[in-house]
């Protein structure tokens, strides 16, 4: 994915650095274009050092390039993001004024545009600004509206640049949606029944307390969505999560590891591909109190026992199914993952380091290594979990064809 990040003259220009960093964390290649007056707020060198690309600041600057760069860049990008976008730049875009590199790039690119306005509250509310936003919206430009709060001018109200992470995530979403519309739809899973587990499990101590983990279910739900889009029948066994499941999935909600174990075994024989992405609890309290345990002045110990090993049980029972597991580790990632692959009779294991702040648990992105039974490894860079899902399904299809 490639994005041109336009930065216009606003006190919030420094936040464009955060937008750049978040985009890079989502595996986006970013080139920065700055207006002349944006350079009064932040220096181009900052963006150059972070993006590893020269920052474009002048339409007619001398360059070693032989091409007309606003045209070649316009054709190369998947999205033009302007953050922050002042009332002035919005007005220029709305009325087709092309007096610098950024406005000329906007008129030259067939790629979609995402605009994140930032300005004084009265400028934001002014009918001229709102009319210009409507003009651009009607042409297909996407907006991520400013937040309300105290502004640099001392006033309070709408006008503060939206959260940089939200801008970056919206940008990637637009690219993915645009590519989905123009790409060839895969139908390689039409005859497959895929059983997927997702989310955490909970092991109760008493009616109000439980042991669990940080899993959000986002990876498993992304796999389910991708499989449905490729034609599969999907059974999704999910622990407690706060995200909506794909509409066409057969959703089975569970809470404890034992409940997940029973649900998975009940549906295992009818599945052709099984993907165990859930983060189940390995231990549970030996004794569960029927009433809330009251706090006392003494220490309390909880004796734990092992829960059912769902993945090992599937490895023992599998016949023609392709069985894929996950290894969420904090150390010795590849070593532990390969050991788990062999012990549990898996066809493929997805190893991810859950220590990473930008991937793994409760993140929209992931960075994984896929390892098969022949010890072949495929390392995927940081990317949205929806993209990781397709790589996993591609591998599942290859394994199914070999079985």
Catalytically active residues, by annotation: 153
Q: Give the integer Cα–Cα distance in Å for 311 and 66.
A: 58
Give the Cα separation of 129 and 135 in Å (integer). 10
Using N-to-C axis directions, what is the helix angle for 310-317 and 257-268, rounded to 10°?
20
d(CA 302, CA 314): 30
Which residue from 114, 210, 128, 94 is spatially nearest to 162, judged by alpha carbons? 114
CA distance 368 to 27: 13
Helix (H) or strand (E) holding 366: strand 365-366
- Residue ranges of E strands in 57-171: 79-85, 113-117, 142-143, 147-150, 156-160
Distance separating alpha carbons of residues 387 and 204, to the nearest angstrom: 35
Q: Collapsing DSSP states into helix, strand and coil, what is residue 341?
A: helix
Cα of first residue to Cα of last residue in the chain, in angstroms, is 34
d(CA 367, CA 380): 6
Instruction: Kindly give, in sequence order, each residue whose CB lies less than 8 Å from that of residue 354, ignoring residues fewer than 6 positions away.
Output: 214, 328, 329, 330, 360, 361
CA within 13 Å, CB half, 48: 10
User: Do residues 389 and 225 touch, judged by C-beta distance below 8 A?
Assistant: yes
Q: What is the DSSP string of 27-79?
A: T-EEEEEE-TGGGGTS-HHHHHHHHSSPPB--TT---S--S-HHHHHHHH-SE
């Amino acid at each position: 994915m490639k994005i041109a990040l336009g930065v216009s003259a606003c006190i919030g220009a420094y936040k464009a650095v955060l937008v750049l960093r978040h985009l890079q964390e989502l595996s986006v290649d970013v080139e920065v274009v700055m207006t002349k007056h944006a350079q009064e707020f932040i220096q181009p060198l900052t963006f150059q050092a972070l993006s590893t690309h020269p920052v474009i600041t002048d339409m007619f600057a001398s360059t070693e390039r032989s091409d007309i760069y606003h045209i070649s860049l316009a054709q190369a990008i998947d999205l033009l993001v302007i953050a922050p976008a002042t009332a002035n730049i919005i007005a220029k875009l709305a009325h087709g004024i092309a007096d610098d590199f950024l406005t000329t790039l906007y008129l030259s690119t067939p790629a979609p545009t995402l605009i994140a306005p930032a300005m004084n509250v009265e400028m934001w509310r002014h009918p001229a600004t709102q009319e210009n936003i409507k003009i651009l919206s009607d042409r297909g430009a996407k907006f991520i509206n400013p937040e309300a709060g105290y502004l640099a001018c001392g006033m309070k109200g709408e006008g503060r640049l939206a959260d940089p992470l939200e801008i970056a995530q919206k940008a990637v979403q637009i690219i993915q949606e645009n590519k989905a519309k123009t790409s060839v739809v895969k139908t390689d899973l039409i005859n497959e029944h895929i059983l997927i587990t997702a989310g955490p499990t909970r092991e109760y101590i008493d009616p109000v307390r439980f042991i669990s983990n940080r899993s959000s279910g986002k990876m498993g739900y992304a796999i389910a969505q991708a499989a449905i889009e490729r034609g599969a029948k999907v059974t999704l066994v999910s622990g407690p999560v706060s995200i909506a499941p794909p509409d066409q999935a057969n959703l089975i909600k569970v809470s404890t590891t034992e409940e997940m174990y029973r649900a998975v075994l009940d549906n295992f024989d009818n599945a052709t591909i099984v993907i165990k992405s859930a983060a189940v609890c390995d231990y549970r309290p030996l004794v569960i109190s029927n009433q809330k345990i009251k706090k006392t002045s003494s220490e309390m110990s909880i004796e734990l026992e092992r829960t059912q090993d769902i993945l090992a049980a599937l490895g023992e029972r599998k016949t023609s199914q392709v069985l894929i597991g996950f290894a969420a580790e904090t150390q010795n990632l590849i070593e532990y993952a390969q050991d788990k692959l062999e012990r549990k009779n898996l066809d493929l294991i997805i190893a991810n380091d859950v220590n990473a702040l930008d991937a793994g648990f409760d993140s929209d992105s992931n960075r994984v290594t896929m390892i098969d039974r022949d010890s072949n490894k495929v390392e995927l860079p940081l990317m949205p979990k929806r993209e990781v899902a397709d790589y996993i399904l591609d591998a599942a299809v290859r394994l199914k064809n070999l079985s």
